[in-house]
Structure formats: structure tokens, C-alpha cells
Amino acid sequence: MIRTFLGIAALLAAPAFAATAPSLQGATVGETVAAMKPGDFLWAPQVAPEGPVVIVVSIAQQRAYAYRNGVPIGISTVSTGKKGHETPTGVFTLLQKNVDHKSNLYNNAPMPYMQRLTWDGIALHAGNLPGYPASHGCVRLPMGFAKLLYGVTKLGLTVIVTAGADVPRFAPSPAVLSNTASKAESDLFGGSLWQPERSTTGPVSIVISSADKRMLVLRNGVPIGSAPVKIAGEVTGTTAYTLGAIEGDNYRWMKLPMPGEALNAPVEVTPDERARLTVPEDIRVAMAAVVAPGTTVVVTPDTLQTGGAGKKMTVMTAGK
């Protein structure tokens, strides 16, 4: 039954091109991301296989976050613009893609897996990551992450570059820049909410936070539901699940492999595991109308509130 969703927590997975994959077991995602070394990244597209993609770059953190269907599927170390060549902040549209691009401004320098943000030379691309801002304004990415990210993006998607360290934990969009952003987040964390009319179609993802004791339901990257939940036992790492099948009243959830786990393939969640999670009855009934095979659940020990402190993301006006 949906009441027994159980944990869901996988914000990201093993970097397929890194020698040593950061682990999400025994630590929060925030702790794992803070400890990442230059060139490290996390990649777990299985936690949200469909939905719109949004990218957020934090200059203060020197990190990039890729979200699909409102759920983080990748986090990477980056190198942004050095002094005198600072990366502009603001909301950008992905304008052009080229696997084997060469710089028109800097001696034909290679820019593998280039994804253009401005027509005057700012782009995401693979490059050297020394651990601090060192580029001429572009956002450098590890080669492996650049290739993976290139594979999930499309022209026209939104890229948000912020000077600050606070970033959304879910569903980033330019709406976080509006005056109603704080109220919108407080609505999601102030009780139960069910508004499927916010997004009537698209893939469904569910994120559960043991820190907040809260579940968020997203459809096509838009929050449509929120409710307090009870989780029996401790959540020590991030885990992810997908709904394999619905057989009458039986919802067959499969646990997905995550970084640091000794799990090579999905395994079915047991009734005891499902029983760890308790969802309010009215929300449980409502969710039955929107979940389907392929719905994913992420369970995390991290808070879902922006920046871990309930602050809205700080994004400055786009520079020229």
C-alpha cells in the first residue's frame, strides 16, 4: 500500500568516470558534497528518469547541481571565472551545444561538451578544476560529468548561476527569485497540501526528508503535494526506489543501487521495509491517483529547505 512507501533517498549516484565514487552512505548529501575534491561528482539519473532538467551553479560553493523532475540527479565540483573574468550571475537559457567546440576567444582552446549560456563566450564545458575559480568566465566541469550532463540536456532549458552558497534542495526554477518565493516554500512546509492542478501531467517523483519529517510530491518538476510523515528507525544515508508494478492493492517498490552500497541491481522492498513509513490517510488516498510504474522515491537525511536554513536562493541580476 502507498502508506508503506518507506524511505526514499537518493539524490545522486556514483560518478561513472571518477576513480573513486563519493559515497552517500553514512553521511548526509550535504556532508558528502562539502567533502568532494576537485574533479569529484555524483551522478544518479535513475532517481528521476524523466522530466524537465534545470541546472544551478553556485559560485560560492564551486558546485553545479543538475535537477530532473525537480529532483537532484547530479552534483559536481566546478571552476568558475577568476578575478577580472567573473562568471556572470542570473538566469540563462541553454543556447547551443557542441561536443567538440573550440574557443573563438582564447587561442582555439578546447571546450569539450560545450553548452553555451551567452553569445559573448560564457558556457558550461569540460576543463581543468584546480579547486578554485580559474576560468575566463565559463563554468568548467569534470570531463565525465560534462559528458553525462550533455546527454540529458536540451536547448532552451534553464541554467541559474548564483553568487551565493544557498541552493534549492528540490524543484529549482526562476520562481525562487520572485517576492513570493519564501511564501511558496513555507506553504510546502506548514502542514499538508495537495494541489495536483499545479501540474496536471508528467512523471511523478517523491522526496522524503527524515530531518524535516516531511514528504514532497513533484509532477513534471512542480511540487503538487506535501505532508508530514513518520519514519521508523534512523535514516543514515540517501536511498532511492522505483515503483515496479501495481498489482491490485499491492505496490511493488524496487530499491535502486546507490553510491557506497553493496547493491548491483534493483531489489524488491520487503513489507517490513515498506512499513517504516507512515503517510497521512488523506494524502495516501490522493497519491493513488498520480503514482504509476516508474514513479521514483528518494529518501534523504538532509533537510529539503533551501540551503539547509529555509532561505530562498540568492541569484543576482545577470551580468554582461
Residues known to be catalytic: 125, 138
Amino acid present at 295 = T
> What span, in angstroms and rounded, lies between the C-alpha atoms of 206 and 169?
13
From the list 4, 89, 14, the residue with the least C-alpha distance to 47 is: 14
Which strands make up the sheet holding 110-116, listed edge to edge? Answer: 96-102, 110-116, 123-126, 139-141
Q: What is each CA distance from 178 to 58, 117, 172, 183, 217, in whole angstroms?
A: 19, 22, 12, 10, 22
- 100 CB-contact burial (10 Å; exposed 0-12 / middle 13-18 / buried 19+): exposed
From the list 294, 300, 296, the residue with the least C-alpha distance to 239 is: 300
First to last CA, the chain: 53
Cell for 300? 534523504
- Name the phi and psi angles at 281, rounded to 5: -60, -40
Q: 239-247 and 53-58: which strand pairing?
A: unpaired
- 316 CB-contact burial (10 Å; exposed 0-12 / middle 13-18 / buried 19+): middle
For residue 74, count other CB atoms closer than 10 A to its CB: 25
Q: What is each CA distance from 100 to 127, 138, 150, 186, 224, in whole angstroms?
A: 12, 16, 12, 44, 40
* C-alpha angle 162-165-167 in degrees, rounded to nearest 5: 70
